[in-house]
Amino acid sequence: MKLIPAIDIINGQCVRLTKGDYNQKKIYNENPVDVARDLESRGFQYLHLVDLDGAKSSSPKNLYILNQIALTTNLKIDFGGGIKSEDSLIQALRSGASKVNIGSLAVRNPNLVKFWVLRYGADQIILGADVKDRKISINGWQENTELDILEFINDFSDSGVNHFVCTDIDKDGMMSGSSIDLYKDIVRHFPNIELIGSGGISSIDEIKELEDIGVNAVIIGKALYEGILDPDELVNAFH
């Protein structure tokens, strides 16, 4: 089980949203680079870095923060938010991302994303399957679609994509538990993908349950920042 702490960025600050609502924003730190260094010092090896300004825009807006974190830590960073062109994908990789998260574009132009998978390799791309009532949402969760999560994963897994992060928007930031039934369904249909769970995770027991049902990694955000999960306990429990 990989533990992946999250840093979400708006206006260069480390923030968390509730249910993806930009109007329910809480600032936790003025300097995301300091947060990343502290996470690494606690024993974390991975980082989920989200450019929320970029997610609402047509391109990433906080690549300089990605670059600073990559230069000053050894964290393996997956970066998302605004990856909507090949140029932005290349910029993110050059700025230090080990993987890029693609969400909206995979819905709007799936053939282009499949081409990128062939060109840059499946190991450098994670598809973001952010859902509300099992339907994919895009553009920083501001737009709902009628595309079912299982259809979305099936289409891309057939094209060689292996890494998917699934966030239940209604669970995100609530610290009330994750979508166990949804993840069970995904694992049952797609046992060979790397599934990353995200949204609502707030206890070590819950993470162990996710591990037991076949989830490969978890993204943890608000529960860390609010002190619900102790980072040292967390690292010790899974290392």
Catalytic residues: 8, 130
Rounded Cα gap, residues 72 and 120, in angstroms: 25
Q: What is the dihedral of CA 214, 37, 51, 195, to 10 degrees?
A: -10
Query: Residue 68 in 3-state DSSP?
Result: helix
The letter for the amino acid at 196 is I
How wide is the angle at C-alpha 236 spanned by C-alphas 232 and 239, nearest 5°? 135
Rounded Cα gap, residues 65 and 46, in angstroms: 16
b/e per residue, 148-187, with b = 16+ CB within 10 A? ebbebbeebbeeebbbbbbbbbbbbbebeebbeebbeebb
Residue among 182, 164, 181 nearest 219 (CA): 164
The letter for the amino acid at 230 is D
Alpha-carbon Rg of the chain, whole angstroms? Answer: 16
